[in-house]
Structure 1
Amino acid sequence: MFAIWNRFPLWQKVLAGFVLGILAGVVLGDKAQYLKPLGDGFIRLIKMLVVPLVFFAIISSITAMGSGDNLKRLGLKTIGLFLLTALIASVLGMAVGSLFDWDFGKQLVPSDYTPKTIPAVSQVFLDFLPTNPVQAMAEGNILQIIVFAALVGIAINVVGEKAEPVRKFAVAGSEVMFQITRFVMQLTPFGVLGLMAWVVGAYGLAALLPLAKFVAAIYIACLIHIIVVYGGLVKLAGFSPLRFFKAVFPAQMVAFTTASSYGTLPMSTKVVTENLHVSPKYTSFVLPLGATINMDGCGGIYPAISAIFIAHIYNQPLELVHYVLIGLTATLASVGTAGVPGTAMVMLTVTLNAVGLPLEGIAFIAAIDRILDMMRTATNVTGDMMVALVVGNSEQQVDLTQTQALPANALPNS
């Protein structure tokens, strides 16, 4: 039995778990919650990996790239491409949201909703800086961990030979965490099965009917962004989009089911290094950074469409200045959204406040946020892996003789 199971590649196992999870949710209904511990256990193992994986990976990647122009150029290219796709995502979200007919027939009355408090802009930037790195690790504050790890890596480069033992420890720690990641990834199909069974059993397929248009708008916009924008950038870089999507499919499935960019880091790291053959030192830099600041689905597409949707619920017309504000705030939100489930709801309040829409409107979409978050996260993670390939290739960080995403001109049938 195990011999037959091991013959299949991981992405096929994950797809099988995904399909079986949906079937189990439909058949079992509420009883599908008994399968949820499979997903919960998988999520716990993923969370166990994230903090040490990010900490060691960031340090080892920065020390491997060295100091000076090389690191600066890579950083600017990476962040610049993230910002470009975020802006495109915001514009796309507004375009798709405007094309849909949101005729509710009458003005709806929202249920009670208490939004989370949004900190001031100055506080957001201050929160980047850890007052206690150990506490940041204990709380899983990934942004603060990345800042601290980056400072450690830069300091190691500056100190030089005296800091060599620390560098070796970080490199060894990174290798150990990658191996533990490989162990955990073998459980992915079972975690996906448990999570999908719970989602379908808890919400039911019919539960989405009243908000079908809204769900469809989010999914359509995300699919366009993945296929056209990400696929187009991969093509411009000289690679086959079909080969790229096949290579990253396992990470997309994990992102879709876990709804967590950070939670998908172990799998996305695996496929980027092993399938796309991007160098580990750049992969361990770009993916944690992308999980923190690249939120095209959560902070770009989602707030734009949601603002238009909520404006129609309250029968409040939007003018050109409102669309400009939506685009700007959605782009900024996409950079500031944390890569864990649910925080896109918080960032949506920033966009609603900017255009003067009632925050209570969030109550209409809060109930199905998990369904939306799955597609949003799959979009985010795909963007991270696209940037890893495109920027990595421009800096000779991709092994073109090994990668499955071979250059398009080497694939006459692709």
Structure 2
Amino acid sequence: MNTLYTLLILSVAVAIIFGLYVMQKKHMSFTKRVLTALVAGILFGSVLQLLLGSESELIASSNTWISIIGSGYVRLLNMIVIPLVFVAISTSIVNQDANSLRKSALSIIIVLMFTTAISAGLGAGISTIFGLDSSEILAGEAEAARGQALEDTLNDFQTKPIPEQITEIIPRNVFYAMSGQGSSATLSVVFFAAFLGIATIGLRRKKPDSAEAFTKFLNMLHDVVMRMVTLVLRFTPYGVFALLSRFVSTSNLSEISRLFEFVAASYLAIIIMFIIHLIILVVYKLNPVKYLKKASVPLSFAFSSRSSAGTLPLNVETQIEKLGVSNGVANLSASLGTSIGQNGCAGIYPGMLAVMIAVGTGVPMDASFFIKLIIITAISSFGIAGVGGGATFAALTVLSSMGLPVGLVGLLIAIEPLIDMARTALNVSGSMIAGLVTARRLGEIDMAIYNKEFKEIEETV
């Protein structure tokens, strides 16, 4: 009987996927298909949750098959991330002069760090207003185990001094880094690609023919990789549906309700930071409404996949094709934004946790506490990229630097995926804002494309 019900659930899922395919065949816009998939995934997962419960064996067996689509899509994206980062950074360097490159990279990093500092202050402020207190959260077995694991992770992390963590960005074996192995793989590839690009520029003085030939090769490689990106992105609606339906159907509502106040505070802080992003656009005379419309696809996928790196291809494509940002700036901001200055994971989250834990442990919070927290969080958002780890490592670094216990982070294990969805979307938005602001300041944006009414270019997706 269970097999019959599983087949019934899968039949409904297949029908929804077929509906998305029909929308594609009718040339409906890519954005509509992605948003339809997002809504369908939430509704489908909610119905399964209400009818069967999150612990149901039927849901588990059904998701085993549905995950082929969701997990397969994420793996495809991860497959092309390293090649994309390599060609994005190398071609962005060889196709622009050194002075322009320095200005672009510096501006992008400053914007990422600045917005992360704002995010940290915002997270700390919201946590204070809500009166979040870690002592009011009772830890279960899973949370206690998670807390102990975090303590062990911090001990391993602290065995390496900061200078060693920084030097690990330089790859000993570039092929090992390009395989995606190691905690600093992405930044190692960024370093090597930048080094290769700079070497190519230097070669133009002594051997211009070789430099020109290699530049053409890099540009051809870039075209091939971008074609691969296009092929993978066509599966986005199906991946979004599968990822969200699985997440919603397996969410533990009782645990979420137990920590509802933290969830509500987190989402409020993230929403306010999104508004700040839009205000920044207004300051630079960029229409925020057009940004929201054109950035809806990468933000939706970031929300459903919880992967900033996985969203990288969509990020680059949106900045160049729909927002008019130059290739060099778009590639730099999207690539650097996956590892540096993540507004949600490395800004809001550590800021909220620090205040919450300080209240629960009786640590006095004065003006110097908040200033120190904002500075440490902003700096850590850059330094943590060398060892990877996202929100967890960001939280470990900030909390340990503030002298706060890190094991209490495990108390939030039940709602971590839920808040991570919005955090990831904010991370991606932050990298796009950095690209837009930099492009606007340096005259590297085509305002005709940015201001053009939003129409999908179907042949690209």
TM-score (norm: length of structure 1): 0.91
Deviations 1:9-44 (A, max 9, x none): 112111111111112222223415232221101101
Q: Percent identity?
A: 29
Q: Distance in 2 between matches of 1:114 and 1:105?
A: 20
Q: For 1:187, which of 206, 225, 235 is the aligned residue?
A: 235
User: CA 1:107–1:164 in structure 2 vs 1: closer, same or farther (change >3 Å)?
Assistant: closer
The CA distance in 1 between the partners of 2:441 and 2:270, in whole Å, is: 26
Write the letter of the residue equivalent to 2:440.
N
- CA distance, structure 2, for counterparts of residue 85 and residue 241 of structure 1: 17
* Structure 2: gaps of 5 or more residues: 1-18, 50-55, 454-461
Secondary structure of the residue that 1:39 maps to in structure 2? Answer: helix
Q: In structure 1, how many angstroms separate the alpha carbons of the residues matched to 2:406 and 2:436?
A: 39
Q: Summarize the Cα distance change of 1:381–1:103 in structure 2 as closer, same or farther, 3 Å threshold.
A: closer
Q: What's the counterpart of residue 129 of structure 2?
A: 99
Contact map agreement 2:323 2:450 (CA 8 A) in 1: yes
Among candidates 31, 44, 50, match of residue 11 of structure 1:
31
CA apart distance, 1:335: 2.0
User: Which residue pairs with 2:63 in the alignment?
Assistant: 33
- 1:230-245 correspondence runs (5 A): 230-245=277-292
2:117 alignment partner AA: L
Give the structure 2 partner of residue 412 of structure 1.
Answer: none
State whether structure 2 residue 115 is matched by structure 1 residue 85.
Answer: yes
Contact 2:325/2:445 (<8 A) preserved: yes
CA distance 1:98–1:10, change in 2 (3 Å): same
Does 2:169 align with 1:122?
Answer: no
CA deviations on 1:122-180 (whole Å, 9 max, x unpaired) are 12211211111111111351000000000000110110112222211111111111111
Cα distance in 2 for partners of 1:130, 1:103 equals 42
Distance 2:296 2:386 in 1: 19
Does structure 1 residue 208 correspond to structure 2 residue 256? yes
The Cα offsets for residues 329-354 of structure 1, whole Å up to 9 and x where unpaired, read as 21122223449996311221111112
> Partners of 1:241 and 1:339 in 2: how far apart?
33
Aligned residue in 1 for 2:400: 353
- Quote the RMSD (CA, aligned, Å): 2.2
Query: In 2, distance between residues paired with 1:294 and 1:58?
Result: 18
Whole-angstrom CA distance in 2 between matches of 1:341 and 1:16:
33
Give the conservation status (yes or no) of the 8 Å contact 1:22–1:197: yes
Q: Is the 8 A contact 2:325 2:436 kept in 1?
A: yes
* 1:274 paired residue among 321, 329, 334: 321
Q: Alpha carbons of 1:341 and 1:8: their partners in 2 closer, same or farther (altered >3 Å)?
A: farther
Alignment length (residue pairs): 404
In the alignment, residue 51 of structure 1 is paired with which amino acid?
A: I
> Partners in 2 of 1:313 and 1:173 — Cα distance?
54
Q: Give the structure 1 partner of residue 441 of structure 2.
A: 394
- Letter aligned with residue 262 of structure 2: F
> For the residues of structure 2 that align with 1:325 and 1:224, how far apart are their CA atoms?
22
The within-5 A match list for 1:248-263 is 248-263=295-310
| Preserved contact between residue 260 and residue 340 of structure 1 (Cα < 8 Å) | no
Question: 1:342 touches 1:370 (CA, 8 Å); kept in 2?
Answer: no
Amino acid aligned to 1:399: D
Name which of 234, 247, 269 aligns with 1:221.
Answer: 269
Amino acid of the residue matched to residue 108 of structure 2?
T
Contact 2:40 2:241 in 1 (8 A): yes
- Structure showing greater radius of gyration is 2
What's the counterpart of residue 297 of structure 1? 344
In the other structure, the counterpart of 1:330 is 377
Q: Which amino acid aligns with 2:196?
A: V
Pair 1:372-2:419 in alignment: yes
Shifted more, 9-18 versus 49-58: the winner is 9-18
Partner Cα separation in structure 1 for residue 285 and residue 33 of structure 2: 30
Report the residue type matching 1:122 in the other structure. Answer: P
Structure 1's 4 and 358: CA in aligned 2 closer, same or farther, altered over 3 A?
A: closer
Is the Cα–Cα contact under 8 Å of residues 14 and 192 in structure 1 kept in the other structure?
Answer: yes
1:44 corresponds to:
75
Aligned to 1:111: 144
State how far apart, in whole Å, the 1-side matches of 2:259 and 2:363 are: 19
Partner residue, 1:148: 192
Report the Cα distance in structure 1 between the residues aligned to 2:163 and 2:257, rounded to whole angstroms: 41
What secondary structure sits across from 1:130 in the alignment?
coil
Given that 1:247 and 1:404 are in contact with CA atoms closer than 8 Å, whether structure 2 keeps it comes out as no
User: Unaligned 5+ residue runs, structure 1?
Assistant: 407-414
TM-score (norm 2): 0.82
Judge conservation of contact 1:13–1:189 (CA < 8 Å) in 2: yes
| Counterparts of 1:226 and 1:179, CA distance in 2 | 31
| Shift in CA distance, 156/247, structure 1 to aligned 2, threshold 3 Å | same
Change (3 A) 1:315 1:106: farther
Report the residue type matching 1:82 in the other structure: L
**Distance in 2 (alpha carbons) for counterparts of 1:106 and 1:100:** 13
Please report how far the alpha carbon of residue 103 of structure 1 lies from its aligned counterpart in structure 2 after TM superposition. 5.6
Q: CA deviation at 1:323?
A: 2.3
